[in-house]
Chain A
Amino acid sequence: MDFKKFISIHKISIVSIAIGIGIALWHFEKGVLMWNNPAYGIPENAYISWLGGTLFFSQSYWFYLIFPLLASIATGIEYGILKKNKYFYQYRIRMGKARYTMLLGFRIFAIGFLVIAIPLALNFILTMMVKPLLYPDSLVAIGPYANEIGAKLFYSHPMVYTIGYIIFDGIFAGTISLFTAVLCNCMENYFLAVIVPYGIYYALVTISNLFAWECISLNMALNPGHGLKGIACFVEIIVFTITTIFLWIIQGAKEDN
């Protein structure tokens, strides 16, 4: 069956990917190629210097701050437009509800995944070409602390940790994408559906900053160099993912056009 066009990336997704790649290249230029300040103690190591290696560079900070917005814009507006113009019923009546829900959900998830995973992977590959791939030193105060979730993997198998984290971030972005589609099914205003995931994310960042509850701040948890400071973030992400998939399936079964 040829679903290439059904799961193809549309213009709005390309804009999101382009913004992500723009930040990734900006970081590569400023934080990798031009960065030459040993005073800050950032070691010459690709695992530390890349976009996800630390939140020290402003490009990294911005990337992880607008992370959910990239994912929600990618799918929300396009999904909203296609839903509004009644296009999807052509698929639903031919596929059946279960297959339709699964395939459309996969498509939306994949777009969110790619929007985040492509810039991260690109930046990591570029950084690897310039900086050496050295085992990170746990005594340098950059990277996850030794007692944190996944830290053992980072210091023993940094490549596995980094690739795994890019996939983890992609999965989270895919979930945000799907969550945006769930909101589009409930809301008349699709722009609001695009903004709400970011609002929740930013609220968590703000609360985390106000009360020094680092463990609930997702922008830090999603940064591989920062790592998961506690089980709370991990639980947050798992609960969010399961709830979103559950809501999507329920909506797919009940949806009225």
Chain B
Amino acid sequence: MNISVQNVSKKIKNNEILKNISVEFESGNIYGIRGKNGSGKTMLIKAICGLIKTDEGRIIVDGKVIGKDMDFPESIGVLIENPGFPGGLKAFDNLKVIASIKNKITDKDIEEALIKVGLERDLEKRYRQYSLGMRQKLGIAAAIMEHPDIILLDEPTNGLDDESVMKLQNILKTERDKGALIIVVSHDFEELEILSNEIYQMKEGCLEKLH
């Protein structure tokens, strides 16, 4: 699995959010992207998963151009900003609805994902009763439950306590060792240092490799 971002630019209302970005991502790695709020990190993630169209350049996933050969990468799990789910459903039901689209995983897989992120004690609560951290955990569970080849996480530790952050790190390391390509976007440098094989800095729409 390989993601090739080639000369990607994106403008919104004359504001250049992404400026001629080129970067390569390979499977079996965790990539960290840090940057201030509004630096374009989320926009890059959205472009990679096909949720926005870029004005220039192209993004190629395993030889297929996003937006041309396919709408979205075939096997992808995404957490963007604060996750949102219908408030009236319980955690399992929310994931079940999403999982039923591809029908690749069983109920047991969903339960396992919920246990992995630490929601096993809150399964009877409805989404609207969840705290910020619990909502974030459910969003992470949605992203990882199908064991996708590509996992894109935007500020995944928002609202998580230390124990949950540790759990998340273990989940991501396990998925990486299984061969997943993981990109984590965060403004927290320390968190990225622990997790990532490579770290990039996003500044005013430009991406540069830190190490």
Contacts and interface: CB of A to CB of B under 8 A. Distances in A.
Given A256-B52, A256-B53, A257-B52, A87 B85 contact: yes
Interface stretch (A29-37, A94-102, A180-188, A231-239): A94-102
Given A91-B98, A96-B71, A85 B84 contact: yes
Contact of A257 (B46, B83, B102): B46
A87 B89 CA distance: 13
Nearest to B93: A5
Interface string B72-96: 1100101011111110110001001
Given A5-B93, A257-B51, A94 B83 contact: no
B194 interface: no
Interface residues of B, number: 30
Contacts of B102: 94
Contact of A82 (B80, B86, B101): B86
A87 B84 contact: yes
Interface residues of A, number: 25
Nearest to A85: B84
B82 A5 contact: no
Contact of A3 (B52, B70, B100): B100
Contacts of B101: 1, 3, 91, 94-95
B49 interface: yes
Contact of A10 (B80, B81, B86, B100): B86
A96 B101 CA distance: 11
B146 to A, nearest CB: 9
B50 A93 contact: yes
Interface string B39-51: 0000000100111
Contacts of B88: 10-11
B72 A6 contact: no
B81 A86 contact: yes
A89 B154 CA distance: 14
A86 B82 contact: yes
Given A1-B101, A256-B53, A257-B46, A93 B78 contact: yes
A62 to B, nearest CB: 30
A1 B103 contact: yes
B49 A93 contact: yes
Nearest to B101: A94
B101 to A, nearest CB: 4
Contacts of A84: 84
Contacts of B93: 5
Contacts of A11: 88
B52 to A, nearest CB: 5
A5 B89 CA distance: 10
Nearest to A254: B53
Nearest to B139: A90
Interface of A: 1-3, 5-6, 10-11, 82, 84-87, 89-98, 254, 256-257
Q: Nearest 3 CB-CB pairs, A to B?
A: A85-B84, A2-B100, A87-B84
